[in-house]
Chain A
Amino acid sequence: MSKPLFQAAEVLDMAIDIERQGLAFYTGCIAARASEAVSEVFEYAADQERRHIELFARMKQDLAEYTVPESYPGETLSYLRGFTKTRVFSTIDEATCSAEAVRDELEAVEMAIELEQSAIAFYSGIKQIVRSSEQDVVEEIIAEEHRHIRRLLQLKDALQYQDD
Chain B
Amino acid sequence: MRAADELPVTEDITRFYRPELARVIAKQRLSEMMVLLRLQLNSAETLDHGPGQFLQISLPGYGEAPISFCSSPTRTESFEICVAAVGNLSQAMHHLRPGDFVGVRGPYGHGFPVNDMRGRDILCIAGGIGLAPLRSLINYVADRRSEFGRMILVYGARKPGERLFKDDLAVWDARDDFETRYTVDEADADWTGRTGVVTIPLRDEVEIDPGRTTAAVVGPPVMYRFVAAELLEKGMVAEDILFSLERRFKCGMGKCGHCQLNDLYVCQDGPVFRYSQLLGRSEAIEVWAPEDERK
A contact residues vs B (CB 8 Å cutoff): 6, 8, 63, 65-66, 68-72, 75-76, 78-83, 124-125, 127-133
Stretch with Cβ within 8 A of A (4 or more), from B3-11, B64-72, B165-173, B283-291: B283-291
With known contacts A68-B285, A69-B221, A78–B290 Cβ distance under 8 A: no
Q: Judging by beta carbons under 8 Å apart, are A79 and B158 in contact?
A: no
Cβ contact within 8 Å between B199 and A82: yes
Cross-chain contact A133 with B293 (CB below 8 angstroms): yes
Kindly provide the distance from the CB of A73 to the nearest chain B CB, expressed in whole angstroms: 11
- Bits for B215-230, please: 1 = Cβ < 8 Å to A, else 0: 0000011110110110
User: Which residue in B197, B288, B292 is a CB contact (below 8 Å) of A82?
Assistant: B197
Distance in angstroms from B287 CB to nearest chain A CB is: 9
Q: How far is the CA of A89 from the CA of B14 in the complex (A)?
A: 64
- Contact in complex: B292, A131 (CB < 8 Å): yes
Contact partner of B158 among A72, A124, A131, A132, CB < 8 A?
A: A72
Say yes or no: A132 contacts B288, CB within 8 Å: yes
For A75, give its contact among B222, B229, B293 (CB under 8 Å).
B222
6 additional contacts (CB under 8 A) given A71-B222, A79-B223, A132-B293: A69-B222, A79-B197, A82-B199, A83-B226, A127-B229, A128-B229
25 inter-chain pairs at a CB distance below 8 angstroms, sorted by A residue, are: A66-B289, A66-B291, A70-B220, A71-B220, A71-B222, A78-B185, A78-B196, A79-B197, A79-B222, A79-B226, A80-B226, A82-B197, A82-B203, A83-B199, A124-B229, A125-B229, A127-B229, A129-B225, A130-B289, A131-B288, A131-B292, A132-B288, A132-B292, A132-B293, A132-B294
A1 and chain B: residue at smallest CB distance = B86
* Nearest CB on B from A72, distance (A): 6
Given A75-B220, A132-B292: A82 in contact with B225 (beta carbons within 8 A)? no
Q: What is the minimal beta-carbon distance from B295 to any residue of chain A, in angstroms?
A: 12
Cβ of A6 and Cβ of B291 under 8 Å apart? no
A124 to B185: give the CA distance in the assembly, Å. Answer: 21
Produce 1/0 per residue, B252-295, CB < 8 A to A: 00000000000000000000000000000000010011111110
Residues on A with C-beta less than 8 A from B220 are 70-71, 75
Q: Give the residues in chain B near A80, CB-CB below 8 Å.
A: 226
By the criterion CB–CB under 8 Å, are B225 and A128 in contact?
yes
Chain B interface residue number, banded:
20 to 34
Chain A residues positioned under 8 Å from B187 (CB to CB): none
Contact bitstring B185-204, A, C-beta under 8 A = 1, else 0: 10000000000110110010
* B128 touches A (CB below 8 Å): yes
Query: Which of B197, B225, B291, B293 sits near A78, CB closer than 8 Å?
Result: B197
Give me the 4 closest cross-chain CB pairs, A-B, nearest first.
Answer: A128-B225, A71-B220, A79-B226, A131-B289
Given contacts A78-B197, A82-B200, A131-B292, contact A68 B229 (CB under 8 A): no
Q: Which residue of A lies closest to B223 (CB)?
A: A79
Among the interface residues B199, B226, B285, B293, which one has the most CB atoms of the partner chain A within 10 A? B226
Pairwise interchain contact B197-A131, C-beta atoms closer than 8 A:
no
Q: Which residues of B contact A76 (CB under 8 A)?
A: 222
Closest-by-CB residue of A relative to B285 is: A68
Are B158 and A129 in contact, with the CB atoms below 8 A? Answer: no
Most buried by A among B203, B225, B288, B289: B289
